[in-house]
Amino acid sequence: MFFHIVLERNMQLHPRHFGPHLRDKLVSKLIKDVEGTCSGRHGFVVAITGVEEIGKGLIREGTGYVTFPVKYQCVVFRPFKGEILEAVVTMVNKMGFFAEAGPVQIFVSNHVKIQKESEVRLKVIGTRVDATEIFCIGTIKDDFLGVISDPGAAV
């Protein structure tokens, strides 16, 4: 599920970037550092939609780098237990199949007849979260779940 959330991060900037475009440099560094990452708490950061506030910079002792606390809004994607997702099958093996919904991979065991690139509707029954990745287990065994369309078939 997608969320719009406000996050905060401390950005470090080298003094060579100081000048009239300090803010722009800070924002582009933020985008480069944060977009595409995943945290266990918030999920995948898909895109930054705006910067709310940039606090006062503090010069770090010994290095000369300056730390700015930046508050920014972003769109995050995080799968939840009990959520229904429509995913595309990426890999089939003996134990089941892997499907992808956005940036997240879901494993479903005990498939019926399934092919790669099929679309399936599944329910997330468990999520495992570590520092940089989210991994899900799903099921297609309940009512209204299962294969939506096969690859190459007309919808």
- Residues near another protein, by CB under 8 A: 1-6, 28, 31-32, 35-36, 38, 42, 44-47, 49, 75-78, 80-84, 86, 100-103, 121, 123, 125, 139, 141-145, 155
The backbone region for 110, taken as left when phi is positive above 0, alpha when psi lies in -120 to 50, beta otherwise, is: left
Q: Which burial class, exposed, middle or buried, applies to 132 when counting CB atoms under 10 A from its CB (0-12, 13-18, 19+)?
A: exposed
**Closer residue to another protein in complex, CB, 4/62:** 4
Smallest gap from Cβ 60 to another protein, in A, equals: 25
In terms of CB distance, is 17 or 121 closer to another protein? 121
Whichever of 64 and 151 has its CB closer to another protein, that residue is 151
Residue 59 CB, nearest approach to another protein (Å): 26
Rg (CA), the chain: 21
